[in-house]
Amino acid sequence: MRRDRSPDGDSTRDRKRELGIELLATLEEESLPLPEAIDRIETVTTSPALTREILDAARKRGVIDREDGRIRTRRGGTAVSLDRGVTVREGEFECRRCGASISTGHFLELDAGELGPFGSSCIRAVLGRDG
Q: Structural domain boundaries of the chain?
A: 12-73, 86-126
CATH architecture entry for 12-73? Orthogonal Bundle (1.10)
Element (H, E) at 54: helix 48-60
C-alpha–C-alpha distance, residues 50 and 110, integer Å: 19
pLDDT of residue 39: 92
Report yes or no: 85 and 108 within 8 Å, Cβ to Cβ. Answer: yes
C-alpha–C-alpha distance, residues 38 and 11, integer Å: 22
pLDDT of residue 55: 97
Check whether 89 has a pLDDT greater than 80: yes
Check whether 84 has a pLDDT greater than 50: yes
pLDDT of residue 9: 43
- Kindly state the average pLDDT of the residues 68-77: 79
